[in-house]
Structure 1
Amino acid sequence: MGKWQRSLYQPVLPLGKDGKRVTGSAEHIALSRKAAGEGMVLVKNENETLPLAKGTKVALFGKGTIDYVKGGGGSGDVTVAYIRNFYEGMKIKEAEGEVSLFHELPEFYEKNVKEQYAAGAVPGMTREPEVPDELVQKAKAYTDTAIITICRFSGEGWDRKCQITEEGYELFEDEKKQIELSASIFENGDFCLTNGEAAMVEKVKANFKNVIVVMNVGGMVDTSWFKDCKEIPAVLMAWQGGMEGGLAAADVVTGDVNPSGKLVDTYAATLEDYPSTENFHKSVYYVDYNEDIYVGYRYFETIPGAAEKVNYPFGFGLSYTSFETEVLGAEEKDGKIVVKASVTNTGKRAGKEVVQLYYGAPQGKLGKPAKELGAYRKTRLLQPGETQRVVLSFTVEDMASFDDLGKVAKSAYVLEAGSYVFYVGNNVRDAKKLDFTYDLAEAKVTAQYTSLAAPHKLEKRLLADGTYEALPTDNGPVEEEGLERQDKLTLEGFLPAVKAQERKSFGELMEAAKTNPNLMNVVEGKETLDEFVDKLPTEALIHLLGGQPNTGVANTFGMGNLPEYGIPNIMTADGPAGLRIQPQCGVNTTAWPCATLLACTWDPELIEEIGKAGGEEVKENNIGIWLTPAVNIHRSPLCGRNFEYYSEDPLVAGKSGAAMVRGMQSEHIGASVKHFCCNNKETNRKDSDSRVSERALREIYLKAFEIIVKEADPYTIMSSYNLINGVQASENKDLLTGILRGEWDFKGMVTTDWWTHGEHYRETKAGNDIKMANGYEERVQEAFEKGYITRDEIALCAKRILTMILRMD
């Protein structure tokens, strides 16, 4: 194909074999099902309750049996040909002779859920109906085995267990509607069971000997109701498994798939046990990240008294078989920690295991988590008795901590003196300490930087011993002089202008094409990009800095769009759970499992395969940039958008995200890694200030982005809505220019999230190259004329946008 042919002409050109489309293809749907099964986590299985023995009679309870949630809402939603719920999956297993079902129960739920949908309910936002006693008794007479399915919806723009403090904040109508609906359905917050669900569970426990629970959820939920409950011997965290998630869950409970997923978050006994819960809803205008680097297992494995609050530790997950991991050797070699191990399947079923390597740095002056994940590896499918050797490694410098206060060396990554210890196992709690240590006689600076994006109003932070240290505060930040800020209402939901073209003859257009600068000359090597940009008028450069109208099936707008200069309009599309095309376009795509499930596979190779398949669908539909992956940290279970994000751990998030980016960009489809950074709360997300220390910023909240930049070279990164330490992320020069480009050497382009509250020209000055979905050319032009921004600053961002476009097919 010719350069930019898809963007310029929107051809119908399938990418599959024999002229078939790959979008929503059987092969991609099969991959979605496979990935869903790989990421489901068996957290409880007493008395070998699972897998179900062949021919087991089963009663299916819970409206979640029918009311299946394939993935989250908002930008994470996908238009598909069908969705397979758990009942439909189990019916397939029944047809294959694996189970027998008591059909009256799911038929009761099916009728009820259809009625709720008809009344306007959406999947996961339905109410648990009361099951008639006579139906329960009929099911009891049929079998002693029951499977309860609990489902939860997740969505963009709202948080869980929503609270709005009295600070004069006015809710948007959608926010208000969602919060009121959530409160009416989930009386105890959707982290916990509803009263209706709890009553149903008690009824099932009282009438059935073998009770199995399947959790169709997007992330962290209450596990205390089944953790120590003897009447519930088995629990599968099935997550939001994409369009084939119900069948994938059936694959696991019947034993056709041996579960190999591991948790990527810590499951504490109560919501209040997470340190982030206390001040999550303290204000709609800011969040104090007082727990600092002690997020997730770094908190629960370190802080005195926290360990006993854990129900299920990070990295935990059961299998239908058993494994033995033997460490064969550990050493430091050429600046790397290298651990060799063998994994043997000692059970009776084929299965996969995940080997996890943790390190513990000396407490020193800075204080450290007791354990931090350094590397991990998932085995291939091992047959009973089969052994696989694995090598785990990471650099010594990866163990360095950022010293933001100058206790050892200010604004530097530091390896403190002492012994560094290592642990190997299949979860953070059970990992066994090795005899090998890495010893440093004196502290070593591994990288020296300057203070960037420092907090101004964060008063304290948690230390490893459970106490807090005071942090310096001031009245900053101070904003540079400039145009009076735009009214925020003028920044909400406006569409790009459609550029007018005067009536011209064919001859006039042909003549102009001969004389105008043309980006194709750069493609063909006739001139450099710098030479091309120098020829463009400032007005044209400013035009490039804003979003452009949709073409084809796109609905999230384009970038570029200066045909008179040979610049195509590159379309974007939402992710991350699949290519998002509006239903009215008539295109069904593949719905992949949610990001949390994918992370639970602990398998970057599988995630890369999904990235490639997703990239093919994006490309086939003539779109150039897929707005995924989302790699924000699971700081709190309350964040409504956790389903879109991978993990509480930055290494898992970074490795998973890098794999997704590599897969997508192998198709020359641009990734947009989001949301940079600290977008850990949806309430008032465009104006909430994340107050976080420089250390936590670099070690926790920026680390996944850093890994992706250095390992996968993403075409684009998306800045977040929120403020970071008093500065809009999209206007934050310390982050976008100082750290992202200055420290990490990022070569790509930065886009805003859609309709931010940042001032366009200030975003440009900070290094945020394009404002989406709509730019404000007149504001940038006025700032240019008044000397608040220079042509060089404008041209620099334009060049980055053009560089991205040049990377496209």
Structure 2
Amino acid sequence: MSKFTLDWKQYAALARQAAAEGCVLLENKNNTLPLADGETCAVFGRTQFEYYKSGTGSGGLVNTSYVHDLDYALTESSLTIDVEVKTAYKNWLKDHPFDLGNGWAQEPWCQVEMPLSDELVSGAASRCQTALIVIGRTAGEDRDNAAEKGSWYLTDGEEAMLEIVCRHFSRTVVILNVGNIIDMSFVDRYEPSSVLYIWQGGMEGGSGAVDVITGKVPASGRLSDTIAYHIDDYPSTRNFGCEDTIRYEEDIYVGYRYFETFAKEKVRYPFGYGLSYTTFDVQAALDMCSLPAGLAKGEVSKTDTLHVTYDITNTGDVAGKETVQFYVQKPQGFLGKPSRELIRFAKTELLEPGEGESGILAIDFYSLSSYDDSGITGHAFCYVLEEGTYTILAGTNVRNATEIGSFALTETVALEELSQQLAPRRHLERMTPKTNEDGTLVPIIQAAPVYLQHYSEDTCPQCADYTGDKGYKLDDVKRGIVSMDEFLAQLSDLDLCHIVKGEGMSSPKVTPGTAAAFGGLTPNLTYFGIPAGCCTDGPSGLRMDCGTNAFSLPGGTLLACTFNTSLNADLFEMEGIEMRNNHIESLLGPGMNIHRCPLNGRNFEYFSEDPLLSGVIASAQLEGMGRAGVTGTIKHFCGNNQEYHRRFVDSVISERAVREIYLKGFEIAVKSGYASSIMTTYGSVNGLWTAGNHQLNTDILRGEWGFEGIVMTDWWAEINNAPKDKPSREKFAAMVLAQNDLYMVTSDTTQVMGDLEAALASGRLERRHLTRCAENICRFLMNSPALLRLTGKEAEIELVNVPENAQLTSDFDIVYHDIKGVTTLPLNGISSEKGDSHMFGITTEGFGTFRISITASSESTPLAQMPVSVFVDNQLFGTYSFNGSEGKEVTLSREGGVFGFHHYVRLYFGQGGLTPISITFEPIDIVTSFSDKD
């Protein structure tokens, strides 16, 4: 039996290091940062006390035992923090509490700032050397940013804060605790000395940021996005926030691919940019001897490689890390290309002054190719190397990269012959370059090719005939005693219909509070030795709605800005061990969607505008989890680049852009990161909802990339059969035919059948299709810890250095109660002293509005007050304020919304003296299924 150790101190140290290395220093006049030991500072901005550890929605709902905000970290640092300014904020916050908003994703983008007087600020300036100005932002699932004050733009209060502080202080540091980039025009108006993006760094984020501010960790983060001067400078902005159809008219020209090709003058800070506390000499070269001998004649394959070398020396006075970035400039040819594209990168270890690091990187020719979606090169639906000169560039950002070598092709080479997939089915105009007489490139608009084929070929193999029970268990397949075909032949058609659906959220069949159970969810499937697998949100840490504590990780954007693959792998190895400790097979992440537009509220979960950086960082995280024997579910596959109307909007994208931009990161994660689980999106790509898209889930993913894992839907996703077919949550047959293996989620897989039985009866769906999905699911579970648990072989998890107040292991013995109609549960005998909690699970017949009533008594007089707080899925449902009743029974009620079917209810007693008698659940306005109209 293997053993894993979850050392909380090591975990926290890795997260803190990542939070520090992801900080991006954009301005640093007169070497304002790092601040010296003992330097006196005044800190402005309420976010110093109310740090945004993550964005909102499923990616941010992690229950933590602590969060180190900026105030905590600054207080613990070597700096001297001005008490008068801090006290003024503390007093003001008493009457201006944090606005939590209302509901799932309604938290405001920002908080109201404290007005500052000249007297307060000038007094601070007379006492302090430096001012720190903290600005906070959030957004997230179901809530995009907007080109409005308080989101993309600063509020009037933030503008006033910057103006008065920068007027009185000569040394100012603006600290941006944000999930997305924001408007940076304030740099011109107020000219702060330093600007530092600290992003959203999880529970250790404040400490990591202050490590950079004080120089304990050198600034080394690099931008994973381009920061332009204006929001309208991004070509995607005009086609963002659409209600029915998003037209990706910018095509492959996303982020720096657009700006470096057409609009360099619109860039404030280029992709890959970031300042350091030291200086580096960076030398790089293309190893001409590494080029294939027959390259000029077109004798090259997609797996052939070239090599680049680099030598980096720290020429400054303090230690630091540097990132070297390699780009390719391709010939424009017939297709048209961006001026440069990232093809590799490497980050050094910590280099002391005078110390250097050298390396050699291999670059395959596939990464230099482009996709022809029209046949204009003579090679339709192929990745090609067009004839002409290929220039390799190296630098420390996309703008300063210079030529290090080149090679020429005298003819166009088709590296990989494919077939048309995922092309638009209606007219789409897209951007392409035209060369002016002076050699500059300007964007013009041309029509993209439309879809030529009608149907994908059904390549599903035949399966063995149904045999009934032969006594085989899934572990017999694992041990090589029987084949998977023989094992699956035992399952009835009904068993196969059950296994393609998951249950959740908070299914009692797996770890409490998690997102879903899948696999062996019925007595019959369990009989055959199929375990119940568990998955849960999300990229920022384990979400467990029952209240179990977990580690809150830095957001995806921050982790990409580290450009540090080994650090990401080490951090997610700890995440993997934490998953093992909580019996979770797959994390619902990494999130891999492209930062197409800075206004996407969920960008904090995702990595970058660049697909290669996204794919490489995701692969590192998957590698780390894999060391612990678990994995991640990379998402959302694909084209989920806005939150508004995400269930219903159709993304119209050229096939070239789909392949080169929106699928490329996933492709890298599958081929290099060995991804074994993928989640499709809520929405549609070119008319087909991704959950039922055969071209996406079978032809490309499995046929072209060789993927052998599972594909699951997003939670309660819609599916359709054809481009003009209305999507529905009942069309499971289309999902199975597309080889999207799992529908997530149902309340009970035996009760929610959708159209599976009807499709089988009509012949539209066959047993072989269900068996194919069942094989994918069983293969995944067979190689997961779930089977080890079922067979008594699970690894031992040792917890070390755990904080005293942290509950890191879920309570697997929670008692569940069925709530049918008006249901009263006894509370007699539970402990109800001050600070006590009582938790239990409930399964409801539907979701919507419930009235929850508590009956209790107290021997105290009516002057006594005894509050009881009720939490449902770790969200406050309401506080019941009882008074002493002199022994009489009193009933208090509250109404509120309850989402889903399985829930955790926790009673928290804020004061002793109350005798709880019962709790009653009364449905007021509920629905019993997720219908199309919901």
Aligned equivalents of 2:769, 2:91: Cα separation in 1: 61
Q: Deviation digits for residues 480-515 of structure 1, max 9, x if unmatched?
A: 9xxxxxxxxxxxxxxxxxxxxxxxxxxxxxxxx996
State the shift of 1:27 in Å.
1.9
- Equivalent of 2:485 in 530, 533, 536: 530
State the shift of 1:88 in Å.
1.1
**What is aligned with 1:291?**
250
Q: Name the aligned partner's letter for residue 149 of structure 1.
A: V
State the shift of 1:430 in Å.
0.6
Q: Deviation digits for residues 126-182 of structure 1, max 9, x if unmatched?
A: 2112124432233122124211011111211121118xxxxxxxxxxxxxxxxxxxx
**What is aligned with 1:508?**
none
- Partner-residue secondary structure (3-state), 1:559: strand
Q: Name the aligned partner's letter for residue 448 of structure 2.
A: L
**What is aligned with 2:447?**
470
Q: Deviation digits for residues 450-497 of structure 1, max 9, x if unmatched?
A: 1111102242100123111123558998999xxxxxxxxxxxxxxxxx
Aligned equivalents of 1:454, 1:132: Cα separation in 2: 59
Q: Does 1:460 pair with 2:429?
A: yes
**What is aligned with 1:351?**
320
**What is aligned with 1:631?**
592
Q: Name the aligned partner's letter for residue 221 of structure 1.
A: I
**What is aligned with 1:426?**
396
Aligned equivalents of 2:75, 2:596: Cα separation in 1: 38
- Change in CA separation of 1:432 and 1:120 when aligned onto 2, cut-off 3 Å: closer
- Partner-residue secondary structure (3-state), 1:206: helix
Q: Does 1:250 pair with 2:210?
A: yes
- Change in CA separation of 1:120 and 1:700 when aligned onto 2, cut-off 3 Å: closer
State the shift of 1:111 in Å.
4.3
Q: Does 1:566 pair with 2:529?
A: yes
Q: Does 1:279 pair with 2:239?
A: yes
Aligned equivalents of 1:206, 1:189: Cα separation in 2: 22
State the shift of 1:603 in Å.
0.8
Identity of aligned residues (%): 40
- 1:208-607 matches, within 5 Å, as 208-226=169-187, 228=188, 231-281=191-241, 283-303=242-262, 306-331=263-288, 332-334=290-292, 335-408=304-377, 409-434=379-404, 436-464=405-433, 465-472=442-449, 516-548=471-503, 549-550=507-508, 551-561=510-520, 562-582=525-545, 584-585=546-547, 587-607=548-568
Q: Name the aligned partner's letter for residue 61 of structure 1.
A: F
Aligned equivalents of 1:316, 1:778: Cα separation in 2: 51
- Equivalent of 1:88 in 57, 60, 72: 72
- Partner-residue secondary structure (3-state), 2:774: helix
- Partner-residue secondary structure (3-state), 2:672: helix
Aligned equivalents of 1:718, 1:705: Cα separation in 2: 11
Size of the aligned set, in residue pairs, is 725
Q: Deviation digits for residues 210-235 of structure 1, max 9, x if unmatched?
A: 11101111122111211x45631111
Gaps of 5+ in 2: 102-106, 293-303, 434-441, 458-467, 720-730, 786-934
State the shift of 1:722 in Å.
1.1
- Equivalent of 1:791 in 749, 763, 767: 767
Q: Is the 8 A contact 1:113 1:126 kept in 2?
A: no
Aligned equivalents of 2:526, 2:36: Cα separation in 1: 64
State the shift of 1:754 in Å.
0.9
- Change in CA separation of 1:114 and 1:519 when aligned onto 2, cut-off 3 Å: farther
- Equivalent of 1:670 in 620, 626, 631: 631
Aligned equivalents of 1:389, 1:144: Cα separation in 2: 40
State the shift of 1:189 in Å.
5.2
Q: Is the 8 A contact 1:216 1:238 kept in 2?
A: yes
- 1:686-725 matches, within 5 Å, as 686-725=647-686
Aligned equivalents of 1:346, 1:60: Cα separation in 2: 33
Q: Is the 8 A contact 1:458 1:473 kept in 2?
A: yes
- Equivalent of 2:38 in 51, 55, 70: 55
Aligned equivalents of 2:25, 2:700: Cα separation in 1: 40
Aligned equivalents of 2:595, 2:469: Cα separation in 1: 54
- Change in CA separation of 1:111 and 1:393 when aligned onto 2, cut-off 3 Å: farther
Q: Name the aligned partner's letter for residue 468 of structure 1.
A: I
Aligned equivalents of 2:761, 2:123: Cα separation in 1: 79
Q: Is the 8 A contact 1:67 1:123 kept in 2?
A: no
Greater CA drift, 122-131 or 705-714: 122-131
Aligned equivalents of 2:27, 2:125: Cα separation in 1: 23
- Partner-residue secondary structure (3-state), 1:367: coil
**What is aligned with 1:765?**
737
Q: Deviation digits for residues 758-782 of structure 1, max 9, x if unmatched?
A: 1211011111000002264242112
Gaps of 5+ in 1: 3-13, 163-186, 481-512
State the shift of 1:46 in Å.
0.9
Q: Deviation digits for residues 329-380 of structure 1, max 9, x if unmatched?
A: 5324353221112101000001000011111000000000000011100011
Q: Does 1:142 pair with 2:127?
A: yes
- Change in CA separation of 1:475 and 1:651 when aligned onto 2, cut-off 3 Å: closer
Q: Is the 8 A contact 2:633 2:678 kept in 1?
A: yes
**What is aligned with 1:66?**
49
- Partner-residue secondary structure (3-state), 1:522: helix
- Partner-residue secondary structure (3-state), 1:547: strand
State the shift of 1:740 in Å.
0.4
- Change in CA separation of 1:120 and 1:152 when aligned onto 2, cut-off 3 Å: closer
Aligned equivalents of 1:110, 1:242: Cα separation in 2: 23
Q: Is the 8 A contact 2:475 2:782 kept in 1?
A: no
- Change in CA separation of 1:73 and 1:402 when aligned onto 2, cut-off 3 Å: same
Aligned equivalents of 1:442, 1:753: Cα separation in 2: 45
**What is aligned with 2:83?**
103
Aligned equivalents of 1:414, 1:478: Cα separation in 2: 25
Aligned equivalents of 1:119, 1:377: Cα separation in 2: 42
Q: Name the aligned partner's letter for residue 233 of structure 1.
A: S
**What is aligned with 1:493?**
none
- Partner-residue secondary structure (3-state), 1:713: coil
Aligned equivalents of 1:477, 1:152: Cα separation in 2: 46
Q: Is the 8 A contact 2:47 2:136 kept in 1?
A: yes
Q: Is the 8 A contact 1:42 1:236 kept in 2?
A: yes
Q: TM-score, normalised by structure 1?
A: 0.87
Q: Is the 8 A contact 1:719 1:752 kept in 2?
A: yes
Q: Is the 8 A contact 1:458 1:692 kept in 2?
A: no
Q: Name the aligned partner's letter for residue 760 of structure 1.
A: F
- Change in CA separation of 1:440 and 1:120 when aligned onto 2, cut-off 3 Å: closer
Q: Deviation digits for residues 62-90 of structure 1, max 9, x if unmatched?
A: 11211210111212121111111111111
Q: Deviation digits for residues 383-430 of structure 1, max 9, x if unmatched?
A: 101111122331122111100011011101110001101111100001
Q: Name the aligned partner's letter for residue 83 of structure 2.
A: H
Aligned equivalents of 1:114, 1:716: Cα separation in 2: 47
- Partner-residue secondary structure (3-state), 2:261: coil
**What is aligned with 1:501?**
none
Max radius of gyration: which structure? 2
Aligned equivalents of 1:275, 1:82: Cα separation in 2: 41
Aligned equivalents of 2:779, 2:337: Cα separation in 1: 41
Aligned equivalents of 1:705, 1:298: Cα separation in 2: 19
Q: Name the aligned partner's letter for residue 85 of structure 2.
A: L
State the shift of 1:119 in Å.
5.7
- Change in CA separation of 1:640 and 1:476 when aligned onto 2, cut-off 3 Å: farther
- Equivalent of 2:59 in 76, 79, 82: 76
Q: Is the 8 A contact 1:477 1:727 kept in 2?
A: no
Q: Which has the higher contact order (CA 8 A, sep 6+)?
A: 1
The root-mean-square deviation of aligned C-alpha atoms, in Å, is 2.1
Aligned equivalents of 2:782, 2:394: Cα separation in 1: 45
